[in-house]
Structures are given as structure tokens and as C-alpha cells.
Structure 1
Amino acid sequence: MKLPGGVAAEDFLRENWQKQPRVIRQAFPGFQCPVSADELAGLACEEAVESRIVIANENGKPWQLHNGPFQPERFSELPETHWTLLVQGLDHWVPEIADLLDEFRFVPNWRLDDIMASFAPRGGSVGPHFDQYDVFLLQAEGQRTWQFGGHCDESSPRVAGTPLRILKDWAPEQTVTLNPGDMLYLPPGTGHHGIADNDCITLSIGFRAPTVDDLLTGFTDFLCSRSDTSEHLSDPDLEVQDNPGTISPDVIDRLDAKLREKLHDRRQLALWFGQYSTAPKSLGIVVPPEHPLTPEFMGQLIAGLHQIRWNEGSRFAYYEFDEETALFVDGEQYLLRGDAGPIAGLLCAGTRPDIERLAGFATDDAICGLLCTLANQGSLYFE
């Protein structure tokens, strides 16, 4: 497997992933941005789209942030230079942008997050900062100069007077200018500052990195939703203590054993994580179609090699147990057994499942029923 630009995935993961930045020239030769600046501005006016405007200096205040949705006239009020429009989750709304994610599936599906678009006129920037996740910065239009390098963390000094986490007294180690099709990879914690040389659009392919807090609270909440966690602690072998205020080691041992029993259930952990990691980031885009399909019609469509694809905001993953396979789609789980197991890997391999292989299941009522369910909940659709 190779990254865009021909870099071997194994080499990149060994040498760069979460280790050091990498510039990939012409990762996408002849790249043409699927969206224009005007279309990004239009999306930023939509209620369902997350958008922001960052102004480098507004009435003497540094790095001011404004959250969308915006009124159309807002864009005519902006200065000529030194501002940036950010549109989050652009892949949720533009199929051609969503297709780019398939170029980055050298990492598991659950690690991919979304694609953010950044439009800026000359001098536009969001300031020097760092992220807690991996990111690929693809230059889609115009030119942008990037300064980057040095490890940053929560103790790094910040600029006062701004709602953004702008680095103060940060010294970059490298400077590069990206042209359309060029791409820069940055590991978590790497300081970076991109400045538009002219009207430009940059696409940021981001990756998910859940915190330990997210994992602990998510899994324990999942366990607590199970009926068997309502049982009370018991101590039929209780003995009289010298001091009633003492919490004995035996109590801690029993608590430890009980919690380990629940937390060490690998099946429940896998089922929770599959649902957690595929929960859609944007609930408003995974919606049922106006005209539901029937399993019979689904079978006819795939037998006729009509291409099916993921909803742009959907997430797919699977986990193989000893005797069954759990398919996870948009936070829901489907347990597959026997001959149905291979359908999970087929559906999860990319945004457009191999329709010729999928056609082999056209006469399988159970599989067509599953595909029908996924289509009717909005996770799959025919192009």
C-alpha cells in the first residue's frame, strides 16, 4: 500500500507517523479543488455546517474568532487580507471531498476523522498553534507557506487576549511553500503556522485520538447501561473490626476483583468501542431516504451492479470474534454468523464497496435485508 505521492505506507508509518513531519511534493498531481471559495462561503451560511472565521487583528485585538453560521453579507464586511474561513467536516457535504479519505486508509477507519477546508486571502492564517492529533495538510488551490517544528504541549506559552490557543514566542524549525497537490504531514504536538501567499484553499485531513477520559467514561457508561451492573456489593463473610473506621484491605481486594471482572470483559469492550468509534460526528447528515427500499429491490440493484456507497458522514468498522463478526455502522452493531461474516470486511474496505463481489450476495435474503436496513437508515445509498 502506498500513500498519495507514492510513499510506501510501511516506510511512512515507521519513519514519520507520530514521529516527525514530512513534506510530500505532488501527492496529488494536477489536483483540482472540488469546491470554490464562494461555495465554502455558501456552506458557512448553512445551519447544519460547522464554520468559523479567524481575523488576525480586529480592532487591535489579536486572533479573534467568530462562529457560524454566517449571513451572506458577513463576507463583504471582512478586510481584504489577513483572515481565514474554516469549514469543518467538508467531506460530509461534498462526495468528491469524501472520496479523498480513501487515499488515507493505510490507518484503520476508526482513526480517520474528517476533512476541514480553510480559505484565506493573502496573509490569512489561524496563528501559530499545535494539534493533539495527526494531520495531513493538502494544498488545494493557491499557495501557502508553512512554518513548523518543535514539540509543544499544554505548558507552552500562549498569546493573551484571544479565544484561540495561539503559541507565544514559538520558534519554527522549517519553512516550506506548498503548491496545489503538495501535502505536509504533522504529528501531534508539532507547532505550525500556515500563512496564505495569495487566495488559497487548504484541506486538512485529520485523525481521531480519543483521550483516556473519553475511553474510561464511555466504556463505564456503556457497562452501566447493562442490567447486570445493578447488583449490589455483598459481604456475607463480614467480621468485626477493631476500629469501625478502617477500610480493610479485604474491601479493596473485593472492589478490585469486581471492577476487573467488569472492565476485563473483552467482548463488551470490543462491542462498545465499535459503536463508540463509528458514531457519526454529524447526526444531521445520516438521515433516512424519502423512499425506503425493500430487500427484494436491494437484491435486484446489486445484482445489476448498481454502485452503492457510504453516506459521506457515515463510519464503518468491524471486529472478528471466534464464531461471529460484529459489523459497526454509525454507532449501531450487527452480529454476523456463518456465511454472512465476509460481508463486514467487504462493506468496510472503502467508501465504494466492490460491487461485483457484493453482487454475489444478491440472492441472500439475510444480507439483502442487512443492506436494506443500512440504506433505509441513511448509511448507504446508490450513486
Structure 2
Amino acid sequence: MNIPGGLSADIFLRDYWQKKPLVIRKAFPGFTSPVSPDELAGLACEESVESRIVIETDNGKPWQLENGPFPPERFEALPESHWTLLVQGLDHWVPEVADILEAFRFVPNWRLDDVMASYAPVGGSVGPHFDQYDVFLLQAEGHRRWEFGGHCDQTSPRIEGTPLRILSRWQGEETVTLAPGDMLYLPPGIGHHGVATDDCITLSVGFRAPSVDDVLTGFTDFLCAHPETNNPLADPDLKCPDNPGAISPELIRKLGDVIARYTNDPLQLAYWFGQYATVPKSANILVAPDSPMSPDALLSEIEDGATLRWNEGSRFAYHEGDAETALFVDGERYLLRGEALGLAPVLCRGNRPDTVAMAGYLEDEALLGLITNLYNHGNLILE
């Protein structure tokens, strides 16, 4: 498998992933932006879309931030240059942008976050900064000059008087200008500064990973939802202590045994993580069809040539156990057994499941019912 631009995915993951930046010329040859600046501005006016405007200097204040949704007249009042419009989760609203993510399936589905669009006129920027996540910066329209390099962290000096984390004394190590179809990969912690050299749109393909805090609190919260965890700790073998203020080593061992009994269960960990990792980024993403469809009607549509695809923004993953496979869709878990085990890999390989590979599974009444349920809940749609 190759990454966009033709480099082997194995070589990229070995030599670049979370190690060093990579400039990829013509990663998407002949690429044209799936959205226009006016369409981005229109999305930024919508209540359900996360958007921001960054202005380099606003009434003498550096790097000021405004959060959407915006009234249409706000765009008429912006300066001619040195500002940026950011629209988060563009893949949730534009199918053509969601399709771009298919080129990044050389990492697990759960690592993909979303696609953010950045529109800027000449001089527009969000300032020199660093991110805590991996990102591919795909130039969609116009040109942007990037300075990048050097590792940054929470101790790196920042500009005061702005709500943004703008680096104050950072110097880039490399400079490149990206044209449409070019792409720049940046690992976490690498400083970078992109400035529009003409009206331009950049698409940021972002990745995610849970923090240690997310894992510890999320998994223990999941475990605590089990009814038996409400039972108090019993100590029928309690003995009179030498000092009532002492916490005995025996008690600490018992507490360790309790924690180990619940946390050393790989299957429960897989169940929690699969649900956690596929929760949609926004509750507004899943929209049920106006009219629910029966299993027979859905099968008839597919036999007539319609194809299934994931809802834009939906997340699919699976975990293979000893006797069953857990399918995770948008935070829900479905257990598959027997001849149904192969359905999960087919559904999760990409946003357009292979219709031919699914045909045999749709002959099973229960599995057809599952697919129909996913359609009626808005996880799958028909094209």
C-alpha cells in the first residue's frame, strides 16, 4: 500500500510517522478544491458547523480569535488581508471531502480524526504554532508558504495578549511553497507557520490518539457502569489492628487484586476502546432518513444497483475475539458470531463497502436486519 504521492506506506510509517516532516509534491495530481471560499463562508454561518476566524492584528491586539457561527455580514467587514477562516470537520458535510480520507487508510480508522479547511487571502495565517497530533496539510487552492522544523513543547515561549498559542521565538528550519495537490506531513510537536501567498484553501487531515488520562478515566468509567461494581468491599477476615490509624499492607494487596480483577480483561478493554474510538465528533452528524426502510426494501434497492456508504463523519471499526467479532459503529457495539464474522472487515475497510463482498451476508435475515438498522439510524446511506 502507498501513501498519496506514491511512497510505500511501510517506508513512510518506518521513517517519517511521528519522526520527521515530509514534503510530498503532487500527492494528488490535478487536484481541485471540492469547496469554494464562498461555500466555506456559508458553512461558517451554520449553527451545527464549528468555525473560527483568526485575525493577525485587530485594533492593535495580536492574533485575535472569533468563534462561529457568523452572520453573513461579518465577512463583508473583514480586512482585505491577514486573516483566516477555519471550518472544522468539513468531511462531515461535504461527501467529496470525506472521500479524501480514503487515501489515508494506511493507518487504523480510529486514528483518523477529521478534515479542517483553512481559507486565507494574501498574508493570511494562524501564526507560528505546533500541534499535539499528526497532520497532513493538503493544498487545495492557491499557494501557501510553509516554514517548519524544530521540536516545540509546553515550555516553548508564546506571544501574550492572544487566546491562541502562538510561538514568540521560533525559527523554522525549512521553507516550501505548496501548490494545489502538494502536501506536507508534520509529526506532533513540530513548529510550523503557513502564510497564504494568494487566495488559498488548505485542507488539514488530522489524526488523533487518546491521552493516558482519556484511557484511564474512560476505561474505569466503562467498568463502573457494570452493576457489580456498586458492591462494597467485604472484609470478613478483619483482625484487630495494632494501631487503628495504620493502613495495612494486606489491605493494599486486596485493593490491588480488586483493580487487577477488573482491569486485566483484554476483552472488556477492547469493548470500551471500540466504542470510545468510534463515537462521532458531533451529535449532529447522525441523521436518520425521513422514512425508515424495511429489510426487503433495502435489499431491493441494492439489487437494483444502489450502493451503501458510510454517513459522512461516521466511524467504523472492529475487534476479532476468539469466538466472536465486535463491530463498532458510532459508539455502538454489535457482536457477530459464526458465518457473520466476516461481515465486520467488509464494512470497515472503507467508506464504500464492497457490494459484491456483502452480497452473501445480505442473504442472512439477521445480518440484513443489522444493515437495515444501521441505515435507519443514519450510520449508512444509499447512493
Q: TM-score, normalised by structure 1?
A: 0.99
Amino acid at match of 1:295: P
Amino acid at match of 1:296: D
Please state if 1:267 is matched with 2:271: no
Q: Distance in 2 between matches of 1:5 and 1:311?
A: 27
Cα deviation digits, residues 328-381 of structure 1 (max 9, x gap): 000000000001111100000000001111122232111110000000000001
Equivalent residue number for residue 356 of structure 1: 356
Task: Summarize the alignment of residues 36-185 of structure 1 with structure 2, pairs less than 5 Å apart.
Answer: 36-185=36-185
Contact 1:138 1:202 in 2 (8 A): yes
Amino acid at match of 1:87: V
Q: Distance in 2 between matches of 1:362 and 1:262?
A: 37
Equivalent residue number for residue 187 of structure 1: 187
Equivalent residue number for residue 255 of structure 1: 255
Contact 1:302 1:359 in 2 (8 A): no
SS for the counterpart of 1:341 is helix
Q: Distance in 1 between matches of 2:272 and 2:109?
A: 16
Q: Distance in 1 between matches of 2:256 and 2:163?
A: 42
Deviation at 1:242, TM superposition (A): 1.3
Q: Say how many residue pairs are matched.
A: 383
Equivalent residue number for residue 309 of structure 2: 309
Deviation at 1:260, TM superposition (A): 1.0
Deviation at 1:305, TM superposition (A): 3.7
Contact 1:302 1:362 in 2 (8 A): no
Q: Distance in 2 between matches of 1:303 and 1:371?
A: 14
List, as ranges, runs of 4+ consecutive aligned residues in structure 1 with deviation greater than 3 Å: none
Q: Distance in 2 between matches of 1:209 and 1:147?
A: 25
Q: Distance in 1 between matches of 2:304 and 2:79?
A: 54
Contact 1:305 1:355 in 2 (8 A): no
Amino acid at match of 1:298: L
Q: Distance in 2 between matches of 1:3 and 1:18?
A: 15
Q: Distance in 2 between matches of 1:205 and 1:243?
A: 60
Task: Summarize the alignment of residues 213-362 of structure 1 with structure 2, pairs less than 5 Å apart.
Answer: 213-362=213-362
Q: Distance in 1 between matches of 2:339 and 2:295?
A: 18
Q: Which moved more, 1:260-269 or 1:122-131?
A: 260-269
Q: Distance in 2 between matches of 1:216 and 1:305?
A: 46
SS for the counterpart of 2:323 is coil
Amino acid at match of 1:119: Y
Structure 2 unaligned spans of 5+: none
Cα deviation digits, residues 185-209 of structure 1 (max 9, x gap): 0000000000000100000000012
Cα deviation digits, residues 150-190 of structure 1 (max 9, x gap): 11111111110000011110111111000000000000000
Aligned residues: percent identity? 66
Amino acid at match of 1:344: A
Contact 2:134 2:187 in 1 (8 A): yes
Contact 2:310 2:352 in 1 (8 A): yes
Q: Distance in 2 between matches of 1:48 and 1:54?
A: 20
Q: Distance in 1 between matches of 2:357 and 2:300?
A: 14
Q: Distance in 1 between matches of 2:41 and 2:69?
A: 10
Q: Distance in 2 between matches of 1:362 and 1:371?
A: 8
Q: Which moved more, 1:209-218 or 1:326-335?
A: 209-218
Q: Distance in 2 between matches of 1:356 and 1:373?
A: 20
Cα deviation digits, residues 225-257 of structure 1 (max 9, x gap): 111111111112111111110001111111011
Cα deviation digits, residues 17-67 of structure 1 (max 9, x gap): 000000000000000101000000000000000000000000110000000
Structure 1 unaligned spans of 5+: none
Q: Distance in 1 between matches of 2:253 and 2:301?
A: 59
Q: Distance in 1 between matches of 2:305 and 2:71?
A: 43
Contact 1:56 1:62 in 2 (8 A): yes
SS for the counterpart of 2:253 is helix
Contact 2:50 2:87 in 1 (8 A): yes
Amino acid at match of 1:146: W
Contact 1:132 1:209 in 2 (8 A): no
Equivalent residue number for residue 207 of structure 1: 207
Q: Distance in 2 between matches of 1:164 and 1:369?
A: 48
Amino acid at match of 1:73: E
Cα deviation digits, residues 231-286 of structure 1 (max 9, x gap): 11111211111111000111111101101111111111110100000000011021
Q: CA-atom RMSD, angstroms?
A: 0.8
